[in-house]
Amino acid sequence: MKTKILQALRQDSEVYISGQQLCEQFGVSRTAVWKAIKQLQEAGYEIEAVRNRGYRLLAVPDILSQSEIASQLHTKWLGQNIRYFEEVDSTNTAAKRIAEESGCADWHGTVVVAEEQTAGKGRRGRFWSSPRGTGLFFSILLKPQIEPGNASMLTLVKGMATVKGIAQVTGLRPQIKWPNDVVLNGKKLVGILTEMSAQVDYVNHIVVGTGINVHQADFPQEIAKTATSLKLELQEAGRNVQISRAELLAAALFYFEQYYETYLQTQDLSALQEEYNSMLANIGRGVRVLDPLGEYEGTALGIDNKGQLLVDRGKEVSEVSSGEVSVRGIYGYV
């Protein structure tokens, strides 16, 4: 009921919607409407109630409740089941637990989101700093019918969706640092960690986890030089925008659903490659490839349809796969 009322109030914040109208629209009593409004106000929503006119939504807090997210979601199947935690070890681990608890994959498309992670995971066993209320920490749980070898491309698909979601909500224009960081002005804004449980030829489940730096005003010393947040970037651009993490999540899910469906048709990035390359920060820039078999430098040309980074080394073009190889900018982080 709270979700439906929020959706109705959101449609036009200029006009009042009467209690009677809400009762009729949702087939519930006036008391039920009043109770839902009271709960929303207690959660921090500023809802004006005027006798003989009705209700009007004045301000929305930046909270990540189920109803706040659901009332903004425009997806067909993704995130129709949202699991929200005030605090969790890691949304990736929580998503994995959900998949392992139930054999029939009715959890496909579930989204796990948390206000705070106590054991947020980064790539290569690193820790992902996730204090309460600072960022957007969420994981998408999937059971795609794909070959396990094609799963790493989902990280690139997620990167694209995140860039589009951020651009839509904030007007900023972030880019992708291959394969899976989203960056702005040379600093990291988003990290993506994709984890899979699979047999040789069969995917049990895939978890695509995303951490977006939203409200941070500063960062732990070890990442202070390379990390940024939406708040810092908006300040830098001289813009005073209140960011709603729920809106950001809804936008990122909307684009992920679309890109994912395109990817599934071919199980590769042939239809997305061009757009990915248009978002790529590395393109045309010098990169150092940290290959365990030997480091080398070259110029990044873009990705191929398998998501490999093509690096021009003068005499040859190398295809770099994500995984054990990492890529650094020669003149900085990107």
Binding pattern for the stretch 217-236 against ligand BTN, x by CB under 6 A and - elsewhere: --------------------
Q: Binding to ligand BTN by residue 210, rule CB under 6 A? A: yes
Q: How big is the site for ligand BTN, counted in residues (CB under 6 A)?
A: 20
Q: According to CB under 6 A, which one of 45, 84, 107, 137 is a site residue for ligand BTN?
A: 137
Q: Which is nearer to ligand BTN, 54 or 165 (CB)?
A: 165
d(CA 158, CA 165) in angstroms, rounded, equals: 10
Q: According to CB under 6 A, which one of 92, 152, 155, 282 is a site residue for ligand BTN?
A: 92
Is the separation of the CB atoms in 249 and 64 below 8 Å? yes
Q: According to CB under 6 A, which one of 72, 110, 134, 139 is a site residue for ligand BTN?
A: 139
Structure tokens at 184: 């702005």
Shortest Cβ distance from residue 67 to ligand BTN (Å)?
21
Q: Binding to ligand BTN by residue 71, rule CB under 6 A? A: no
Site for ligand BTN in 173-192 (CB under 6 A): 181, 191-192
d(CA 107, CA 206) in angstroms, rounded, equals: 11
Q: Binding to ligand BTN by residue 117, rule CB under 6 A? A: yes
Complete DSSP assignment for 38-81: HHHHHTT-EEEEETTTEEEEEE------HHHHHTT---SSTTSS
Could you tell me where the beta strands, DSSP code E, fall in the chain?
46-50, 54-59, 82-85, 111-114, 135-142, 175-177, 181-184, 187-199, 202-213, 286-290, 296-303, 309-312, 317-320, 326-329
Applying CB under 6 A, the span of 90-98, 156-164, 243-251, 262-270 interacting with ligand BTN comes to 90-98
Q: Binding to ligand BTN by residue 19, rule CB under 6 A? A: no
Structure tokens at 219: 């960062």
Q: Which is nearer to ligand BTN, 37 or 192 (CB)?
A: 192
Q: Which is nearer to ligand BTN, 129 or 244 (CB)?
A: 129
Angstrom CA distances, 147 to 150, 208, 308, stand at 6, 16, 17
Q: Binding to ligand BTN by residue 55, rule CB under 6 A? A: no
Q: Which is nearer to ligand BTN, 96 or 231 (CB)?
A: 96
Shortest Cβ distance from residue 126 to ligand BTN (Å)?
6
List all residues 6 or more positions away from 319 whose beta carbon is below 8 Å from its beta carbon.
Answer: 304, 308, 309, 310
Name the pairing type of β-strands 82-85 and 111-114.
parallel
| Residue of 113, 138, 144, 140 lying closest to 261 (CA atoms) | 144
Q: According to CB under 6 A, which one of 179, 211, 298, 307 is a site residue for ligand BTN?
A: 211
Q: Which residues are near ligand BTN by CB under 6 A?
A: 90-92, 117, 120-123, 126, 128, 137-139, 181, 191-193, 209-211
